[in-house]
Structure 1
Amino acid sequence: MATPAIAKPRSGYDRHKNTRSGVELLAWLFMRLSGIVLVVLIFGHLFVNLWAGEGVKAIDFGFVAGKWASPFWQIWDLLMLWLAMLHGTNGMRTIISDYAERDSTRMWLKLCLYVASAVIIVLGTLVIFTFDPCPAGADPSVVPSFCEAL
């Protein structure tokens, strides 16, 4: 019976094998960069919503309506939503790739992940850009009190 050839212990290791794909490198880089940007976005969000204002008790429908009246805050919240979802999706994709043993299981889990992510990103984007606290023709008893001044 032939024994397999074992490399000599001090023969070295070829670190330049092409074992990594460009996609994985980009995903790794995206995680690092998006993490840095997310820290800035999230702490800015917390500072404005909790510390600079009157705290949690001031956050209500009117606060969000006033904040989203500005395109700056719409873009801020949109970036936070997209980056958080893409960052989390990429992390879950890595976990699925690492722990799902069968190819079919891996494929179905990733498909569910991508669909859920896409739905949340699309719905969140629609909410941010179509949010109207004072819809025309709405029953005055259900709209906020600040809409009557308009």
Structure 2
Amino acid sequence: MAVTSEIQAPRSGRVAPKYTRHGSSRGNFEMLAWLFMRVSGLVLVVLVFGHLFVNLMVGEGVHAIDFGFVAGKWADPFWQIWDLAMLWLAMLHGTNGVRTIINDYADKDGTRFWLKSVLYAATAVIIVLGTLVIFTFDPCPPNAAAELLPSFCPAP
């Protein structure tokens, strides 16, 4: 005699209370974070390959990359914006990915809070410092000692 038992469909059982949605659900944030990862990933592919092509293939290639090359590149607002977009998108994309990993693997709320706090603080510091470097970079600062200036700077 065969014994048959009914197999429930996946997710048809009761959902644990901690996984139920409430009025203040974060579902929209997670959906937007998921969408951001896809869009920023595509944009980053274009930005990174454009960056690599210009730096490694155009002109003398890798042999031309030095302080003067970067100074000349960042003298153009187009390349400042390009590098800024690459910095911001890479940092936010990576931060969102690490945030997801923390949410998946940190079991305790306190651990999750502190890991994400450190992550967000590090992200903010790197974004702020990187933005400042891109926009305040001056290869020929005024009142600098002549022996410290690159050869292409006019003599003081």
Deviations 1:101-122 (A, max 9, x none): 1100000000000000000000
TM-score normalised by structure 1 residue count = 0.87
- Counterpart contact for 2:44–2:89, Cα < 8 Å: yes
- Structure 1 residue 88 corresponds to structure 2 residue 94: yes
Amino acid at match of 1:9: Q
DSSP 3-state at the match of 1:145: coil
Deviations 1:57-110 (A, max 9, x none): 211000000000000000000000000000000000000000001100000000
Deviation at 1:31, TM superposition (A): 0.1
Cα distance in 2 for partners of 1:53, 1:74 equals 19
Identity of aligned residues (%): 70
- Structure 1 residue 45 corresponds to structure 2 residue 51: yes
1:83/1:9 CA distance change after superposition, 3 Å: same
Task: State the partner residue of 1:121.
Answer: 127
Structure 1 segment 120-139 matched on structure 2, within 5 A? 120-139=126-145
Candidates 32, 36, 43, aligned match of 2:38: 32
1:57/1:32 CA distance change after superposition, 3 Å: same
1:43/1:149 CA distance change after superposition, 3 Å: farther
Which consecutive segments of 4 or more residues in structure 1 shift more than 6 A? none
Cα distance in 2 for partners of 1:123, 1:12 equals 47
- Structure 1 residue 105 corresponds to structure 2 residue 111: yes
Cα distance in 2 for partners of 1:12, 1:120 equals 42
Task: State the partner residue of 1:69.
Answer: 75
Considering only aligned residues, what root-mean-square deviation do their CA atoms show, in Å? 2.3
Amino acid at match of 1:83: L
DSSP 3-state at the match of 1:126: helix
Aligned residues: 142
Deviations 1:20-73 (A, max 9, x none): 711000000000000000000000000000011212221100000000000000
Task: State the partner residue of 1:145.
Answer: 151
Q: Which runs of 5+ in 1 are unaligned?
A: 1-6
DSSP 3-state at the match of 1:34: helix
DSSP 3-state at the match of 2:118: helix
